[in-house]
A = this chain, B = another copy of it.
Amino acid sequence: MIQPEIIEELRQIVGPQNIQTDATDIYTYGYDASPEYYHEPDVVIAPANKAEIIEVLAICRREQLPIVARGSGSNLSGGTVPIAGGIVMTFTRMNQILEFDQQNLTLTVEPGVITKAINQYTASAGLFFPPDPGSMQISTIGGNISENSGGLRALKYGVTKDYVLGLEVVLANGMVVETGGKLTKDVAGLDLTQLMVGSEGTLGIITKAILKLMPIPEANKTMIATYRSMEAAAQSVSDIIAAKIIPATMEFLDQVTIKAVEDFAHVGLPTEAAAMLLIQQDGHPREIDADIATIEKICRQGDAIDVQVAKDEAEGAKLMAARRTALSALARVKPTTVLEDATVPRSEIAPLVKFINDTAKKYKLYIGTFGHAGDGNMHPTCLTDLRDKDEMKRVHLAFDEIYRKTIELGGTVTGEHGVGLAKLAYLPWKLGASGMWADAAIKAALDPDNILNPQKLYGRSEVAVHD
């Protein structure tokens, strides 16, 4: 428990309006968007600038006090749950767009900017920030950077790390590092920008980011293809790539998800299909027409039951919006939604999804699977009830098996949701002892007092991951 004198010191730094200690106020900061992890912070503060952050970190070092940086808490792995207590730091007062440089196609922002606001800001200039995580309506860019968020457009456009050109970061020791810049090429020193991206707040506190923007594609076209089997759908994914077409989006939905989405969104999805692909291409109109025509042909030759091309962009947008409801649609089925993030080389989607379904049967669980087929990034989503201890035990046993299979298929334990607390036990399966050692060595070098989001990412064995 944090001492009153320290609370008082923090109050002096950030001002009395920007500190919360009441149980009712701090309650929500003990959660993120994953259902299983909760730990209350001692105090929540909202600094105004990096000078205040430097002062706060000095207190953390002196008192060995944990500090967790938190955006909107929409992360899905327990990453911002302050498992060791201490301070939660929010960025509601550091939420300004600082500079829009149209000559260099960059936007400089504070960490508290809402992701969606970026695209609203740049759209009139014909520019966009491609990463589009499911939570972009509410997530902050600082959180996206810390988690290296993905989304639906990663196959063609990449993920958050591909659009962060530079960062300002306050290190645990109070030093301020400025990495990168408005530069396409920069090899001066180690790539600290990329080291910080996805480090889940364990190596520093991000106070500024230079983002790379892209021209908005002229047009887009959307289509769906439905299949009698998942294998046939997965084969079409491979055949499309083999035809040298890289669609902007190539989403997979299994029958459980199709039914849930249709029941929720009523867009006319074929609920009898075993699997469905939702594909969008963007670019020059003629190029899109050619690509979509080729994809349509490939899907038909690949035993699709039906292929439908949206008649215009509005209809395409409706289909994409329906896909974006997948999680909400599934979440209505049962009280608790365990959204997972198994990722394999795209050639291994069919074996992975088959294994997921077999495992669901084996453990008598209700799992719907959807995800980014082009990226091999699947979201098996278990619909369960946290209060049913017996079922939750089976959920964990099932996902243990699913993640072992994912690794066996050359995959990873998290494609875009982060390690947080949810994947801590699985992390060594991917990194091995050597990778765990290297990560921990870097953490110890940059944060020797282990104050920044402790008990995360480096697989401390004392953390009980489940139950």
Contacts and interface: CB of A to CB of B under 8 A. Distances in A.
A387 interface: no
Interface residues of A, number: 92
A427 B188 CA distance: 7
Interface in A386-412: 410-412
A358 interface: no
Contacts of A344: 183
Contacts of A178: 432, 434-435
Chain B CB within 10 A, most for which of A283, A374, A415: A415
A182 B345 contact: yes
A155 B183 CA distance: 10
Contacts of A246: 214-215
A242 interface: yes
Interface string A161-172: 110000000010
A175 interface: yes
Interface string A157-197: 00101100000000100011111011111111111101101
A460 to B, nearest CB: 14
A419 interface: yes
Interface string A401-444: 00000000011111111110001000100111111111101101
A463 to B, nearest CB: 15
Interface stretch (A9-17, A41-49, A59-67, A102-110): A102-110
A111 interface: no
A171 B446 CA distance: 19
Nearest to A215: B244
Interface string A248-269: 0000000000000000000000
29 contacts: A103-B242, A103-B345, A106-B345, A147-B187, A150-B185, A154-B184, A159-B184, A175-B433, A177-B432, A177-B435, A177-B438, A179-B435, A182-B410, A183-B375, A184-B346, A184-B372, A184-B375, A185-B376, A187-B415, A187-B419, A189-B427, A190-B198, A191-B197, A195-B442, A215-B246, A216-B244, A284-B286, A286-B287, A441-B445
Given A177-B431, A183-B345, A188-B414, 12 more contacts: A103-B346, A175-B438, A178-B435, A184-B375, A186-B415, A189-B419, A190-B439, A191-B198, A192-B438, A214-B246, A284-B284, A442-B445
